[in-house]
Amino acid sequence: MSDRANRLPDADEIAAINARHFADTPLRPADLLFVFGTRVDEELRAETAARLWQQGYFRHAIVSGGVTPGAELSECTLIKAAMVRRGVPAERILEEHRAMNTGENVQFALPVIDAALGLANVRSLICLGNSWTARRYAMTVHRHWPEVEKMLLTVDGFGVPRHVWHTHPEFRRRVLREWDKIEPYKAKGFIAEWP
């Protein structure tokens, strides 16, 4: 963990992060829910996906995430099972079990989506992931699949309002670590500017 992620941001950096990094969008029904794997808050992620399903926000979902160090099951397996327990039909959930990072989530999921649904048939998607990673999910999708309309919904279990993320030490560390990745990742071509 870098010391930089442990810094105390000033008011200007907090304002910039609040304005540009946390990029939840208005939601409308989409063709696909893209659930990014996680090692934390799996149940919250699944609960949110199930709520979106019950409210009619997607017709199909894909869960992407591999087996992380020390785990026996893939992130995909755990999250999909939790979604099914909450009422999302298993046959509506596509699976990707190899990805170990956000770039791989998208790169490995695209052929799965294409085989099952046809990429051209998916015109809109909702990205669901951690609040601290924020717009990097949609920026990664935009880099590899610019044609699809992207919406973003992020969740976290920190128990503090998102606009005061900087007051919670672990939330602050995670946000700053992700915020610091944006420009280097754009420069390397891992992500593309969005929105």
Position 1 pLDDT exceeds 50:
no
Please check whether residue 17 is in contact with residue 180, taking contact to mean a CB–CB distance below 8 angstroms. no
User: Which residues span the domain enclosing 131?
Assistant: 3-16+30-154+162-188
Average pLDDT over residues 91-95: 98
- For the domain that residue 107 is a member of, what is the CATH number? 3.40.50.620
180 in any annotated domain? yes
What is the per-residue pLDDT across 151-195, written as a single tens digit (0 to 9) for each? Answer: 999 999 999 999 999 999 999 999 999 999 999 999 999 999 998
21 in any annotated domain? no
Tokens representing 163?
A: 């606009």
Please check whether residue 23 is in contact with residue 138, taking contact to mean a CB–CB distance below 8 angstroms. yes
Mean pLDDT of the chain: 95
pTM of the model: 0.95
Return the sign of the alpha-carbon dihedral for residues 143, 118, 51, 90. Answer: negative
24 in any annotated domain? no
138 in any annotated domain? yes
Position 46 pLDDT exceeds 60:
yes
Least confident of 2-11, 28-37, 54-63, 80-89: 2-11
Q: How far apart are CA 159 and CA 101, in angstroms?
A: 25
Counting the structural domains of the chain, the total is 1
Q: How far apart are CA 132 and CA 134, in angstroms?
A: 5
pLDDT > 90 in the chain, percent: 90
- Strand segments, DSSP code E, in 7-73 are 30-36, 58-64
Neighbours of 177 (CB within 10 A): 16
What is the per-residue pLDDT across 117-153, written as a single tens digit (0 to 9) for each? Answer: 999 999 999 999 999 999 999 999 999 999 999 999 9
